[in-house]
Structure 1
């Protein structure tokens, strides 16, 4: 794997690259509270299959730039970051893959820039419009998303998450995943990323910008590019019903439901996710 820094959309992102530079471009977008390392089970295998893999630390995470103002974390800005990466690769299109917040960015990139995506693969996060609808109107999802409201508070979330060597974040990862999903070595990698100066505040600012810097109005919220939504049915945070509503917003969408997987599906079902990214998945 090659570590580099890419200038895009007015900031600099740390990007891990692997595979042949003349292969199909795949961009892997992590979510909260991960960083590029969340894809380590897929990066090398995709490279072996001939793909040129780019796995960035998204803005605010790990070694990438961490703007301080909330507007810098709007979904429109985050999507523009990805277009900047495709431009930096000197490509017209890419396969864009996202998990958690990375999935939200991938969805919105497909809505706003459909001509720049070859395919879309999203893991365990619904279309942003579906998420906003459920998070504001569905009581069960509102209860599951309680932390979004908590993250709107100033300074307190950062202090609590950093306490006792990031105990709360570690507990969240271990408590919401299948036993053995995250090893002690994995957790040390995450702690190093979380301890980067300004990282915790920037990571939480994604949630703060969710309501204060909403997405731009689009003529259509439909997804026109071929889409695969992979969903772990044991997700503690997000209701499975949102997956079906999201596929309904796709012109060419398929849903792969993995009954035994949790929210951390790319870790627990690494091979199935790999097949999905390569376009070889069977449903």
Structure 2
């Protein structure tokens, strides 16, 4: 997996897991960690890595635990948001980064929100792509039944074994369809999907990926911590899974935040409108 220009790979040992990490950009540049979502891996940032590294950012782009070539610990508890956020800080410490710029999409965005909320002194800037703050999801769904319908697949993912079988059958036919049917035409080329299939079929990967959803049910219903760091939310309004109101509810938790809307983009805006997304991220992060 070395066909993204300027990318090097390394294995980084953390206290609990070992992560497969893609790296790019000058070592002296502002440290920036990019967190992918479900069901992607580091390759989900393929359109951003070149432009952001050329802008001078030092990029660290992991396969998060349970994904791709990274470790896949057993048990739902290993995928609690507190643990996933701790991975981000441990990864920064492994590189010697005192503070980082943090970017997350989808599940990576939930982790980024959680990390910035609980480790504000370690985060210089936060950028989120189509991902709500975990602390607002429950109350928002209770007020907006339409979002509950959009999120109903999460209930299926709570079941043991069956979701893994459904999602890996036929070379992951269901996941391939989920990506292509929820995105604009051309967002995922056949060659891209081949890369995803390879990652999804890694031993233990599908269970690890689904355990992120299973662990979300363990979050306590407490008042979410505010986000004190400068925050940019990028949101594709045609997202079939997440209503735009989730972006606004998340912004309400930010002391210093703003939203950039992409009216024609879906959940996969980084793939659909890479030039606009890259410009927004570069201007905010560099």
TM-score range, shorter chain: over 0.9
Query: Over residues 232-262 of structure 1, what are the superposed CA-to-partner deviations in whole Å (9 max), with x where a residue is unaligned?
Result: 0000000111111111110000000000000
RMSD of Structure 2 on Structure 1 (CA) = 1.4
Alpha-carbon displacement from aligned partner over 1:165-218 (angstroms, at most 9, x marks no partner)? 11100100000000111000000000000010000011000001111x315967
Residue among 258, 274, 282 paired with 1:278: 282
Counterpart Cα distance in 1 of 2:135 and 2:91: 25
User: Normalising by structure 2, what TM-score?
Assistant: 0.94
SS at match of 1:84: helix
Q: Of residues 35, 40, 47 in structure 2, which corresponds to 1:34?
A: 40
Find 2:63's aligned residue among 57, 75, 88.
57
Q: CA deviation at 1:276?
A: 2.5
Whole-angstrom distance in 2 between the partners of 1:56 and 1:215: 27
CA contact (8 A) 1:228 1:255 kept: yes
Question: How many corresponding residue pairs?
Answer: 279
- CA positional deviation for 1:275: 2.0
- The answer as to 2:164 corresponding to 1:158 is yes
Within 1, Cα distance between the matches of 2:68 and 2:256?
35
Find the counterpart in structure 1 of residue 271 from structure 2. 267
Question: Which residue of structure 1 lines up, in the alignment, with residue 95 of structure 2?
Answer: 89
Determine helix, strand or coil for the equivalent of 1:279: helix
The residue number in structure 1 matching 2:239 is: 235
Structure 1 residue 214 corresponds to structure 2 residue 188? no
How far the C-alpha of 1:132 sits from its partner, in A, is 2.2
Q: Could you tell me which of 7, 10, 18 is aligned with 1:4? A: 10
The equivalent residue for 1:117 is: 123
Contact 1:75/1:215 (<8 A) preserved: no
- Name the residue aligned to 2:3: none
Any idea what SS the aligned residue of 2:43 has? helix
